């Protein structure tokens, strides 16, 4: 009732002020405003240009191009403090500082404020992470530490750069400095654990990685480093679990996906057997391909077990005096221009939340290219021993 009354009241008020309604209906032409502002700027009419930049920022507050240009106009007027504020707004918009425009405004801000810790750090981070210019990155982290010796992020990132050079002991010394400032700094704890694993100190590695995990068990980076450290121990089974957990939290975590595939290839545990069958129908419903793959191998791993637990049991069979449950799942897939592969030996993990290519496949002996409009019924079957 309150909502209806408020709406009615607003309608009555607006009916007496038609010009207000008209103003609301007019959309802002950002392109035209920006051209006018730039023309004024080029004529050195900086204050007038700023008035147009402000009109754009009223509707697009995070327009980094306009924020930067307003900063330029303010700097041209000699208002360097305010210019620095707008350059700062540019680099504080998420990940903006990593591209060429972001680097440009970082440099402009550092011209005005050479001691700006945030700009120095972000310049170093950008150079390290996105441009792989580690030596230059370290020089910027050092500048931050000259101003603020206890800057945790700079201490940690200097350690990360040294880690990339395989200087694990040196990296650990910087992680330790960060941990003196913040004993619960997750990045330093997990990276120290990973570095210790690289040095073969597995007991201490577990201690630091588990401590980081206790603080935040859903941290994808921690799970990735736990898995990576376990690879150094050749503990592929537990490594696989950590990469899988990371991908459940963030399916797009590229590093975990790559490490999971590599780890699967090194997996040496016993396998479960089964088969897969694909029936392909065209857009008219006619069967155009019936593809069967025998000797399908499933990894005998807790990850796969959890998945298979959700597949219905369709039969119990006896093989050589041992009982097996036959579990099976069917999926209907709509396919556009995609190859379906198979072979005498298919070895991998199937992830329902990803596509069926997300696994390891060896010895592909045939393929079928599904056409636009084709549909596939994919049947997966596995024989699992009854304990």
Which stretches of the chain are assigned E, i.e. beta strand?
271-281, 287-299, 313-319, 322-334, 339-343, 346-348, 364-369, 375-385
Q: CA-CA distance, 279 to 277, in Å (whole number)?
A: 7
Q: Determine whether domain 30-265 maps to CATH 1.10.10.60.
A: no
Q: CA-CA distance, 144 to 136, in Å (whole number)?
A: 13
Structure tokens at 257: 């996906």
Question: Is the backbone of residue 70 left (phi > 0), alpha (psi -120 to 50) or beta?
Answer: alpha
Q: CA-CA distance, 99 to 78, in Å (whole number)?
A: 27
Would you write out the chain's pLDDT as a tens digit for each of its 387 residues?
A: 333 222 222 222 222 233 333 344 446 688 889 999 899 989 999 999 999 999 999 998 888 888 888 988 888 888 877 877 887 787 777 554 455 666 777 788 888 888 988 888 888 887 877 777 888 889 999 999 999 999 999 999 999 999 988 999 999 999 999 999 999 999 999 999 999 999 999 999 999 999 999 999 999 999 999 999 999 998 887 888 898 888 888 877 878 877 877 776 665 555 567 777 777 777 777 777 666 665 555 566 666 677 778 889 998 988 778 888 988 888 776 655 454 544 333 333 333 333 333 333 332 334 455 566 677 787 888 888 887
Write down the residue that tokens 């696989």 correspond to: 240
Write down the residue that tokens 């073969």 correspond to: 200
In the chain, CATH 1.25.40.10 covers 30-265
- Per-residue exposure over 303-339, b if at least 16 CB sit within 10 Å of its own CB, e if not: bbeebbeebeeeeeeeeeeeebbbbbbeeebebeebe
């Amino acid at each position: 009732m309150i909502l209806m009354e408020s709406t009615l009241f607003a309608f009555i008020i607006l009916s007496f002020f038609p010009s207000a309604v008209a103003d609301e209906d007019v959309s802002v032409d950002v392109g035209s405003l920006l051209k006018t502002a730039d023309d004024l700027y080029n004529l050195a009419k900086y204050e007038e240009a700023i008035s147009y930049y402000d009109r754009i920022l009223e509707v697009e507050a995070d327009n980094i191009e306009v924020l930067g240009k307003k900063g330029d106009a303010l700097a041209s007027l000699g208002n360097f403090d305010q210019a620095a504020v707008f350059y700062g707004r540019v680099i504080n918009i998420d990940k903006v500082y990593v591209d060429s425009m972001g680097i440009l405004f970082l440099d402009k801000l550092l011209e005005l404020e050479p001691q700006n810790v945030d700009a120095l750090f972000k310049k170093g981070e950008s150079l390290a992470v996105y441009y792989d210019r580690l030596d230059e990155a370290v020089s910027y982290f050092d500048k931050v530490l000259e101003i603020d010796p206890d800057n945790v992020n700079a201490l940690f990132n200097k350690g990360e750069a040294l880690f990339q050079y395989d200087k694990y002991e040196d990296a650990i010394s910087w992680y330790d400095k960060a941990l003196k400032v913040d004993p619960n700094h997750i990045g330093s704890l997990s990276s120290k654990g990973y570095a210790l694993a690289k040095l073969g100190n597995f007991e201490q590695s577990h201690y630091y990685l588990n401590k980081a995990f206790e603080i935040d068990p859903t941290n994808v980076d921690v799970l990735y480093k736990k898995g990576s450290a376990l690879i150094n121990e050749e503990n592929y089974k537990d490594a696989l679990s950590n990469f899988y957990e990371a991908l459940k939290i963030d399916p797009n975590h590229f590093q975990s996906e790559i490490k999971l595939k590599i780890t699967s290839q090194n997996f040496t545990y016993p396998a479960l057997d089964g088969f897969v069958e694909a029936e392909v129908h065209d857009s008219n419903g006619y069967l155009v391909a019936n593809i069967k793959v025998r000797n399908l191998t499933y990894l005998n791993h807790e990850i796969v077990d959890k998945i298979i637990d959700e597949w219905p049991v369709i039969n119990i069979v006896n093989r050589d005096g041992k009982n097996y449950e036959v579990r099976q799942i069917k999926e209907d897939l709509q396919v556009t221009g995609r190859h379906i592969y198979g072979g005498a030996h298919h070895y991998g993990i199937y992830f329902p939340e990803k596509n069926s290519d997300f696994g390891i496949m060896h010895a592909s002996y045939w393929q079928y290219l599904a056409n636009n409009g084709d549909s596939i019924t994919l049947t997966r079957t596995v024989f699992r021993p009854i304990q």
